[in-house]
Structure 1
Amino acid sequence: MEVVVKTFEELTNTELYQLMRLRSEVFVVEQDCVYQDLDNKDQKALHVLGKKDNKIVAYTRVFKPGDYFKNTSIGRVVVHEKERKFGYGMIIMEASLKEIKKRFPDNSIELSAQTYLVKFYTSLGFKVFGEEYLEDGIPHIRMIRK
């Protein structure tokens, strides 16, 4: 899998369509969650694209401090269902962390994790803080990496 990082303006129409489709396939259809994915935050985000055969199969979006949370943050972490067995979730997260270190050094990184993924994010150095809460009907927990 090749990883590319782009601003919103740098995304091609095809990339934007593919990342929106991937997010919809997983977060709306697979997880059976009706929510407003198009939240007017994509324009501020860095888009970390994991491509295989020129198709986006893994993705995150990264925000500088203050654009989403007080800290630098990662969100919309997603891997296509048929590609999860290859460890692309770890690869796309490591690429996101590397990009944050390059662009926003010395900042804590925060995310809102689906609770069932706490072990995954813990393996990347994140720690739980706060109480579990429902976001769009799915249990979540805030996590931070110093």
Structure 2
Amino acid sequence: MFVVEQATPYPELDGRDLLAETRHFWLEDADGVVVSTLRLMEEHPGGEKVFRIGRVCTKRTERGHGHTSRLMQAALAEVGDYPCRIDAQTYLEDMYVKHGFVRSGDEFLDDGIPHVPMLRSGSTGA
């Protein structure tokens, strides 16, 4: 869904999807068709535990129903008090602010799509 909707021709599997510390969240419609996805990865830069959210996508026909917010809430419940990063599409920055993220750097292009790095600080002292 992400590759087709965003027209980003990179490999679906990047070697991180199958790692034990990677979690996948998704919502299905009544017929069992996946309509929204999110990937949560655990990272350890400098030995400190940090999470990263990516591959957030909701099927175009299913947008506006709160699916992304539901997945974000579930993922952030897993994150708990640890810091969490996301490279958000710029036009969605305000939505991620509602989930506690703040811009942490300058806008950049990823596959021609404007993004901003964002951080949700943890309360673990990390």
Give the TM-score range, shorter chain.
0.7 to 0.9
**Offset of 1:40 from its aligned partner?**
1.7
Q: Deviations over 1:74-105 (max 9, x none)?
A: 1001111111121111111111111222xxxx
Aligned to 1:128: 103
TM-score w.r.t. the length of structure 1 is 0.72
TM-score w.r.t. the length of structure 2 is 0.82
- Quote the Cα distance in structure 2 between the aligned partners of 1:144 and 1:59: 20
Report the residue type matching 2:43 in the other structure. Answer: P
**Offset of 1:27 from its aligned partner?**
2.0
Number of aligned residues? 115
Would the aligned equivalents of 2:25 and 2:38 in 1 still touch at CA under 8 Å? yes
Identity %, equivalent residues: 33
Uncovered stretches (5+) of structure 1, i.e. residues with no partner: 1-21
Aligned to 1:51: 28
Query: Is residue 75 of structure 1 aligned with residue 54 of structure 2?
Result: yes
Report the residue type matching 1:34 in the other structure. Answer: P
- Quote the Cα distance in structure 2 between the aligned partners of 1:59 and 1:34: 17
Please, what is the CA RMSD of the aligned residues?
A: 1.7
Task: Return the structure number with greater helix share.
Answer: 1
Aligned to 1:40: 15
- Quote the Cα distance in structure 2 between the aligned partners of 1:35 and 1:49: 20
- Quote the Cα distance in structure 2 between the aligned partners of 1:57 and 1:92: 11
Aligned to 2:94: 119
